[in-house]
Structure 1
Amino acid sequence: MIIQSVLGITLITSLITDIRQRKILNIVTFPAMLFGFLYHTAAQGWNGVLFSVSGFLVGLGVLLIPHLLGGMGAGDVKLMAAVGAMMGSAFVFHAFLYTAIIGGVISAALIMKKNGMWNTIKSAIFIVIFLRMDVVVSPDGKGHITFPYGIAIVLGTGCTFVWGGLA
């Protein structure tokens, strides 16, 4: 129960800072990771270390490539790694799946809002027919729509608590 409470505080704090400042703070994610490592080590010894470290690595791994490609900030990656350190690899993988679905829905909604529903549908049909993925809508004219991805991470993690895994 304590691990879920610490995770809840971490998620809520990260959600607030991501919405207000567009940052997920190290002062939140690093202590959460450390807490996950220490908690599971104290509770289960070496099995707890393996549980927490594997969760951390899965959480880090699922968002590292999108971060390296410029698709999201490092704070998002560290938040997912903290979720993994506290909840383990299976949980964080399922949270990632929910997060990806929610992030996709939010992105589609933002594209439709910016580009209009009909233009978005035409672009989607074009992509499907010609398998072209270079159609990007931009509010700043430079090809990017951004939103605080911490919203998707928090909602995806919440869905995992409520409904469990997708598999």
Structure 2
Amino acid sequence: MITDAAAMVLLGAASITDIKSRKIPNGLTVSSTGLGLLYYVVTQGISGLWFSGAGMLLGFLLLFLLYLFKVVGAGDVKLFAALGAWAGAALVWSIFVYSILIGGMIGLFLLLYHFRSYGTRFAQVILVTLGLRNLVVLKEHLKRPATFPFMIAVFPAALVAYFIG
């Protein structure tokens, strides 16, 4: 189906740019959102607009909440709006849930990896947090959070949502 192909091309392009530069271009997200809405209006009329618009709105709102807490970037928010415009609300919800689960597993892996690599520093942060003996260590640790491009979780999540359910 053309909508599935469009969503996968969107996700593939966003994954490449996010992994390479940690940015998802506005040209990609905004044009994809507009094309998704236009496609559904042309092919299904007002019901297509509702389907695509609801998906766009849900995708935007879900990621905007994460953006407010600085969990994801603005490009991810716009990407989920575009993805919702092509995939609809039900599928964008599934992709979101799987993305959070996969992202959590990646985060746990990174935490365990960094704990192994920086165990002493991690222990200092815990002790500082509990005992408040040296706030400088805590401030230094908080300046360098371990992050990863969210598309590393979103692309496999979309594959799971499309092919498994």
Q: TM-score, normalised by structure 2?
A: 0.82
Distance in 1 (CA, whole Å) between partners of 2:15 and 2:104 is 18
Shift of 1:152: 1.1
Per residue, is there more helix in 1 or in 2? 2
Question: Which one has the largest radius of gyration?
Answer: 2
In structure 1, the gaps of 5 or more residues are 127-137
Distance in 1 (CA, whole Å) between partners of 2:152 and 2:81 is 16
2:22 is matched with which residue? Answer: 22
Distance in 2 (CA, whole Å) between partners of 1:77 and 1:151 is 15
1:149 is matched with which residue? Answer: 150
1:71 aligns with 2:71: yes
1:106-130 residue CA offsets vs partner (Å, 9 max, x unmatched) = 111111110129x6xxx9xx9xxxx
Shift of 1:7: 1.3
The answer (yes or no) to whether the contact 1:80–1:153 under 8 Å persists in 2 is no
Shift of 1:72: 1.2
Within 5 Å, give how 1:1-150 maps onto structure 2. 1-116=1-116, 141-142=141-142, 144-150=145-151
Distance in 2 (CA, whole Å) between partners of 1:102 and 1:110 is 12
Shift of 1:95: 0.8
The answer (yes or no) to whether the contact 1:24–1:150 under 8 Å persists in 2 is no
CA RMSD in angstroms, aligned pairs only = 2.0
Shift of 1:35: 1.2
2:134 is matched with which residue? Answer: none
| Identity value in percent | 36
Task: Give the aligned residue type for 2:96.
Answer: F
1:73-109 residue CA offsets vs partner (Å, 9 max, x unmatched) = 0011111111111010011001101011001001111
Q: TM-score, normalised by structure 1?
A: 0.81
Distance in 2 (CA, whole Å) between partners of 1:148 and 1:29 is 16
Secondary structure at 1:111 match in 2: helix
In structure 2, the gaps of 5 or more residues are 127-137
1:40-80 residue CA offsets vs partner (Å, 9 max, x unmatched) = 11111100000001000110111111101111100111111
Shift of 1:141: 2.2
Secondary structure at 1:142 match in 2: helix
Task: Give the aligned residue type for 2:90.
Answer: A
Secondary structure at 1:116 match in 2: helix
The answer (yes or no) to whether the contact 1:14–1:24 under 8 Å persists in 2 is yes
